[in-house]
C-alpha cells in the first residue's frame, strides 16, 4: 500500500511538472515586485489558474486566482492565446520564498509547478532593467542581464529553446550575446516577427529572470522616429506638421508679389484704354471742326 501511494505521489508530481512550465529560481530585491509566467497545456485553456504559496504543494495556500479579484500584493492574468498565465507579486519580503503556479482541475487533482524567490536587501544576483520590452517587426531589441557571479549564461524562450554565447536562433529570430561590460551580458534579438512576442528569460547559473517581449507593426510615426539623424536643413517634415515660419514667409512673399504684379498689369491696361478713348474723342472733335466752314457773308457751309 505504501509503495502504491509513493508511485501515485511520483505520478502526480511528474504530471504537474510536464503540464506547467515556469522558471525555477529568481533573485529579487526586497520591497520590489516580480512577474512570473506560467505556461500550460492547451487542454487547460478554460480552467481556473491560481498562485499558491507554501514550501509543500500539499499544504500551500491560495494567494490569487483567475476567478477572484486581485489584491494589493497579488495579481494574475491569463493569456489564453499563448497559453500563459502571469502572476505578479508586489512588496516582496524575505518570507516570500516558495510559490506554485497551479491549475484547478474539476473532479480531479490540481496540478502545480513551483518556483523559488531569493529575496535580498541588496543587489539581486541576476536582474534586468525592465521586465516589459517592446519591438517593431523587422527591427531588433537589446536586453541587459546584470549578474554578480560567474557562470554559464543563456537566453531562453519559455517552453522553447535556449541560446548560449555568442549567437544562435530562437524560432527563426537571430540572437547574439556579448559581454563587453563587466558583470553584464547583452542579448540582441534581430529580425523580429509577430511570432517573436512572448516570455523569455536570462539564465546565469541556477538563476533565471523573466522578460516579456511584445512585437508590433511599424506605423508611419514609428518610421519617422527611427530615421537616421540628418542635418537640420534636411530633416523631412511629417505631412501633418505645421509649416515653419520660413516656409510661411516665402509663401506670403510669393503671393504678395503676384498680387502687386496683377495690380500693375491691370492699371496699365486701364491706362491704355483710357488714353485710347481720349485720343479717339480728340480726333472726332477735330474732324467736326474741319467740316464746318463759314462764308464771308456769315453763311455756314458744311463739307459733306
Q: Is 198 exposed, middle or buried (0-12, 13-18, 19+ CB in 10 A)?
A: buried
pLDDT at 280: 56
Helix (H, G, I), strand (E, B) or coil at 281: helix
Q: What's 145's DSSP letter?
A: E
Q: What is the per-residue burial (b if ≥16 Cβ within 10 Å, else e) of 132-170?
A: ebebbeeeebebebbbeeeeebbbbbbbeeebebeebeb
Q: What digits encode the pLDDT tens for the residues 20-55? A: 999 999 999 999 999 999 999 999 999 999 999 999
What own/partner pairs with CB < 8 Å and gap ≥ 24 does 215-224 have? 215/134, 215/135, 215/136, 215/137, 216/134, 216/135, 216/136, 216/137, 217/136, 217/137, 218/136, 218/137, 218/138, 218/139, 222/136
Low-confidence ranges of the chain (pLDDT < 70): 1-18, 220-252, 263, 273, 275-304
pLDDT at 175: 97
Q: What digits encode the pLDDT tens for the residues 57-111? A: 999 999 999 999 999 999 999 999 999 999 999 999 999 999 999 999 988 999 9
Domains and CATH numbers, the chain: 12-120 (2.60.40.10), 126-224 (2.60.40.10), 262-304 (no CATH)
Helix (H, G, I), strand (E, B) or coil at 225: helix
Q: Where are the alpha helices (DSSP H) in the chain?
A: 2-19, 220-225, 245-291
pLDDT at 85: 97
pLDDT at 43: 94
pLDDT at 261: 76
Amino acid at each position: 500500500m505504501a509503495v502504491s501511494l509513493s508511485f501515485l505521489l511520483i505520478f502526480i508530481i511528474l504530471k504537474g511538472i510536464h503540464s506547467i512550465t515556469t522558471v525555477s529560481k529568481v533573485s529579487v530585491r526586497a520591497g520590489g515586485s516580480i512577474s512570473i509566467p506560467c505556461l500550460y497545456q492547451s487542454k487547460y485553456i478554460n480552467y481556473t489558474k491560481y498562485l499558491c504559496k507554501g514550501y509543500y504543494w500539499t499544504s500551500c495556500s491560495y494567494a490569487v486566482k483567475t476567478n477572484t479579484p486581485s489584491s494589493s500584493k497579488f495579481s494574475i492574468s491569463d493569456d489564453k492565446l499563448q497559453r500563459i498565465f502571469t502572476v505578479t507579486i508586489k512588496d516582496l519580503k524575505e518570507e516570500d520564498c516558495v510559490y506554485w503556479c497551479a491549475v484547478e482541475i474539476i473532479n480531479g487533482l490540481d496540478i502545480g509547478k513551483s518556483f523559488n524567490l531569493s529575496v535580498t536587501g541588496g543587489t539581486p544576483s541576476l536582474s534586468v532593467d525592465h521586465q516589459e520590452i517592446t519591438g517593431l517587426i523587422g527591427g531588433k531589441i537589446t536586453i541587459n542581464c546584470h549578474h554578480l557571479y560567474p557562470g554559464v549564461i543563456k537566453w531562453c524562450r519559455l517552453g522553447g529553446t535556449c541560446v548560449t554565447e555568442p549567437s544562435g536562433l530562437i524560432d527563426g529570430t537571430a540572437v547574439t550575446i556579448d559581454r563587453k561590460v563587466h558583470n553584464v551580458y547583452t542579448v540582441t534579438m534581430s529580425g523580429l516577427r509577430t511570432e517573436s512576442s512572448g516570455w523569455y528569460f536570462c539564465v546565469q547559473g541556477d538563476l533565471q529572470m523573466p522578460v516579456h517581449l511584445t512585437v508590433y507593426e511599424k506605423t508611419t510615426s514609428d518610421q519617422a522616429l527611427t530615421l537616421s539623424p540628418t542635418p537640420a536643413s534636411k530633416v523631412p517634415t511629417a505631412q501633418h506638421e505645421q509649416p515653419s515660419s520660413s516656409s510661411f514667409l516665402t509663401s506670403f512673399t510669393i503671393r504678395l508679389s503676384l498680387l502687386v504684379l496683377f495690380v500693375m498689369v491691370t492699371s496699365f491696361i486701364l491706362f491704355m484704354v483710357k488714353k485710347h478713348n481720349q485720343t479717339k474723342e480728340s480726333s472726332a472733335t477735330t474732324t467736326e471742326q474741319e467740316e464746318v466752314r463759314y462764308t464771308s457773308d456769315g453763311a455756314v457751309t458744311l463739307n459733306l
